Chain A
Amino acid sequence: MHLSIFNSDYCSWKLSLVAGIILALAGLTALEITWRMQGHIPCVIDDKDLWAYHRNRLTKNSKHIIVLSGASRILLNISLPEMKNLLPAYTIVQLGIDGTHPPAVLQDLAKDSGFKGIVLFSVIASGLEKRNWDHQQEFIDYYHSDFSWSDSLNRFMSTMVQAHLVISDPHVMIKPVLLRYLKIKKLPSPRYLITYSDRRKEADYSKLNINKHKQKRLERLAQYYEKDNTPLPPNEWIHEVVDVYSWVRQIENRGGKVIFLRLPTKKAHWEMDEKFYPRTLYWDRFVQKTGVKAIHFKDFPVLDNFDCPDTSHLDFKDTKPFTRALCNILCQHDVFKK
């Protein structure tokens, strides 16, 4: 077989390679500075690998673990650094997954005989229905069957890069930037939503046209309730969702705790939630029937008083005080000790 193509006389390859690397570093540095001068900051890419990496952090048989499970509200509203400050004895692991209902994670933790920690389970009434149980299953299956030690190591290193370099953000990569520029003659604006290495997200709504954003969100919510997820009648609903309680019992029997959280929604969003899933017929009935520990934002003015600029999530400036307020309430309810 030919070896000719790859047998080089190697003349000056060292020089070419070193010069090429220097050129590349210079180019990348220039790009990094350019993007930062335009207000961009690093953003970690949240994917199955990152979720699995954090899932892997759950230490077996430890009661000093707090798992945050839910969707975008638990990702955006809770400040993990603030929570760690308030609860230094605990390891806090963010397992929320944006845009999905979380029962699958609760079930996974219930099946994990080594898990004895605390689950802060942010969920809405419709999320407890059987048809929504498998939303997060893909992430769980990936963790259990495909996530290897080398994926974990790779994710650790790529997270470090993404947490420090703007140029690693897909938002500012060459192809989407060029395509966007060709279409609308504009470079991408800094992200309003940033993900950090601990998977928390922070939203800076001052970077958005908030009214337009709010309008789109409410339209999607109407579509969700009216077409995609029309509510079950309350009696049918309660029969279905009671099964979730068996997972709670499994965790509690091992010494763990599960606290159901209903995080704030505001104005038109809350009105729609109440129209389709009235609290008294759904949430309260579930809590009453099962006896689960539950915190509903409407029962605590200190939580209800926070504004949600997009009707559903806090601005990043409010996450620390909100986290403090929530932790105080949870401490008062003996969920954990500060």
Chain B
Amino acid sequence: MLFNSYTFILFFIAVFTTYQLPINWSKKKYILLFSSYIFYSAWNPPFVFLLGISTAVDWWTAKKIFQHRHYLSTKRHFLLISLLINLGFLGFFKYSNFLLHNFIYVVDKIGITFTPAIPDIILPVGISFYTFQTLSYTIDIYRGKGKPWHSLLDYALYVSFFPQLVAGPIVRAFSFLPQCLAPKRVSGDQIAWGISLIILGLFEKIVVADGLLAPVADTVYAVESYPGLVDAWCGTLAFTGQIFCDFAGYSTCAIGAAKCLGFDLPENFRYPYASLGFRDFWRRWHISLSFWLRDYLYVSLGGNRRGMARTCFNVMITMLLGGLWHGASWTFVIWGGVHAFLILAEHLIRRCIPTDYQSGLFLTSAAGILTFAGVCISWTFFRAHSIDQAAAMLQAMFGFRLPVNESILITTDRVITISVISIMIFIHWLLRNRSLKEVSENAPWWIRSIGIGIMLVAMATFSGEDRAFIYFQF
């Protein structure tokens, strides 16, 4: 059930209406829980059991961890159970075929022919997200950052809450669970704000990502032969914009939907294409994932507390696994590796700069441009079907190979891409240290109305292939 579907509109109206009934808070939470399972069943009904098992396992293990909090060895065992089961499910459903294909490749290289039947494993939608979410609960309790929650209903709702269930933001338990304690009173204006956020998110997805940019990216990345330098850059820029609008659009919808129900979800994007440096980028892009990786992987490995060499190793492992989280393919791992390299390179450069150095406009602009360029170049690995295609695209982008198809895109596509990306970068730089709240509330109500009206008309009248949100595949 996509956010940009009639089914979701009907579903949300039904949930919202039922939620407004004069019933007690506990019953309202049951309504949300039931609705969330219905929402998840829209993809593949049997997988609701997987969601239930994941919920039950971590509920139980967290209790056990807390019960044995003074016995390091025992509590470690229970943490291990939680990790094994959750990561086991994730590994099986998401990485089995990847591991099998790589195993076949490796043994073939040493002369052994192994041709097993390749199992047809369906990837449960959102498994990467809710797995990380439930693990954050058990790990936080293991670390003594909280106690097991008293209400299984609240916890089950935290795991399955439909606005963020299938594509984030990855919510921390102890920022969501306290919101379940007291009934929500949501005013008309809060609901209107939430709906406005949903409209904004859908506009980003339907009009900008699917309508304007995806066709360009698909055209360039579909070709088997090499595009020219201009088209390679246009296709990559188009994907740069597409993935932001698609994913940020989803997160904005999720936050807006939660807002209508009285819940606050964390921000997931903060104008990442106005980043100054790659560390800054990861504080602005998919914030909930990058903070999760920092807190539960990077810090667990030792963070930056064990010397330079170990820090480099920890950064590399975190980013490589972060890349792998996105998909069972070496291209995603390389994408993560590219970011690790860029983060480490930036770290080394910063160590050479005096701490009291004030960079002027020129250096700040250069840093911004280089960051954006680095991010764009890394997206080639994310978008390409294979390492070969990514390499070919990079060669085309830097003019190292003669193109076979000089003009894959028409002039209009190039103009649209450059215009949309330019506007996007401008908006990101304009708002990088401000908030949408500030900007929109400083505008008269009728300006906001016109904006909402234009977005609604655009959504209704913009052609675009019906595409799933990119991050659903993760």
Give the B-binding residues of A (Cβ under 8 A): 1-24, 27-28, 31, 148-151, 153-154, 157-158, 161, 167-168, 170, 172-176, 179, 182
Contacts and interface: CB of A to CB of B under 8 A. Distances in A.
Contact of B7 (A6, A154, A170): A154
Nearest to A153: B7
A154 to B, nearest CB: 4
B462 A17 contact: no
B100 to A, nearest CB: 21
A1 B451 CA distance: 28
Interface string B257-287: 0010000111100100000000000000001
Contacts of A157: 6-7, 10
Given A1-B288, A14-B189, A20-B455, 6 more contacts: A14-B192, A16-B452, A17-B195, A19-B452, A20-B453, A28-B456
Q: Is the interface of A mostly helix, strand, loop or mixed?
A: helix
Contact of B456 (A1, A9, A21): A21
A150 B1 contact: yes
B190 interface: yes
A23 B449 contact: yes
Contacts of B212: 175
Contact of A5 (B196, B270, B458): B270
Closest 3 CB pairs of A and B: A20-B452, A23-B453, A10-B189
A153 B463 CA distance: 21
Contacts of A154: 1, 5-7
Given A27-B453, A148-B42, A153-B7, A5 B437 contact: yes
A16 B449 contact: yes
B266 to A, nearest CB: 4
A2 B191 CA distance: 20
A31 B461 contact: yes
16 contacts: A1-B267, A3-B267, A5-B270, A5-B436, A6-B197, A6-B255, A6-B267, A9-B437, A11-B441, A16-B445, A16-B452, A20-B448, A150-B1, A157-B6, A173-B461, A182-B412
Nearest to B448: A16
A174 B462 contact: yes
Nearest to A10: B189
B460 interface: yes
A9 B441 CA distance: 8
Nearest to B412: A179
Q: Which of B45, B191, B453 has the most CB of A within 10 A?
A: B453
Contacts, number: 150
Interface bin, chain B: 35 or more
A1 B189 contact: no
B189 A12 contact: yes
Given A2-B267, A149-B42, A150-B7, A7 B449 contact: no
A151 B1 CA distance: 7
Contacts of B175: 1
A5 B6 contact: no
Interface in B226-253: none
A241 to B, nearest CB: 31
Given A2-B270, A150-B1, A154-B7, A175 B211 contact: yes
A149 B6 CA distance: 13
Contacts of A1: 175, 266-267, 287-288, 291
A153 B11 CA distance: 11
Given A20-B449, A175-B211, A7 B264 contact: yes
B309 interface: no
B102 interface: no
A52 B190 CA distance: 40
B187 interface: yes
A20 to B, nearest CB: 3
A172 B452 CA distance: 22
A15 B188 CA distance: 10
Contact of B460 (A158, A167, A170, A175): A167
A174 B448 contact: no
A297 to B, nearest CB: 37
Nearest to B186: A10
A179 B196 CA distance: 30
B342 to A, nearest CB: 23
A40 B68 CA distance: 72
B196 to A, nearest CB: 6
A15 B436 CA distance: 18
A28 B460 contact: yes
Nearest to B447: A16
Contacts of A149: 42
B452 A24 contact: yes
B250 to A, nearest CB: 14
Which residue of A4, A6, A149 has the most chain B CB atoms within 10 A of its CB atom?
Answer: A6
A13 B446 contact: no
Interface string B442-474: 000110111111111110111100000000000
Interface in B402-458: 412, 435-437, 440-441, 445-446, 448-458
Nearest to B188: A14
Contacts of B265: 6
Contacts of A3: 264, 266-267
B306 to A, nearest CB: 27
A297 B363 CA distance: 78
Given A20-B453, A24-B452, A13 B192 contact: yes
B193 interface: yes
A22 to B, nearest CB: 8
Nearest to B440: A8
B25 interface: no
Given A5-B437, A174-B458, A13 B193 contact: yes
